[in-house]
Amino acid sequence: MDDALRLYDAGRADGRAGRHDAALAGNPSTRPDYLVGIVDGQLAAFEEALVAAVREALGRPATGGTAEAG
């Protein structure tokens, strides 16, 4: 289980950075956990970019702050 989490975490970090490790992605024993991490990392990066774009379109700071009521 520790190896699976380590591989997932490595994949998530690589996915957020927009890269991948061909050895981990191609190895049948590491591939599933690593690739799930890649996809999750890519999704997280996309979500951050989307939220930043929406905030910018609304004229709010791209990061931080709280939503204003009203």
Q: What is the DSSP string of the chain?
A: -HHHHHHHHHHHHHHHHT---HHHHH-TTTHHHHHHHHHHHHHHHHHHHHHHHHHHHTTS-SSS--PPP-
Number of domains observed in the structure of the chain: 1
Q: Is residue 40 part of a domain?
A: yes
> pLDDT (tens digit, 9 = 90+) per residue, 33-68?
999 999 999 999 999 999 999 999 999 876 655 555
Q: Is residue 11 part of a domain?
A: yes
Residue 27 pLDDT greater than 80, yes or no? yes
Q: Is residue 13 part of a domain?
A: yes
Q: Is residue 62 part of a domain?
A: no
Q: Is residue 70 part of a domain?
A: no
Q: Is residue 68 part of a domain?
A: no
What's this model's pTM, rounded to 2 decimal places?
A: 0.77
Which residues constitute the domain of residue 6? 2-57
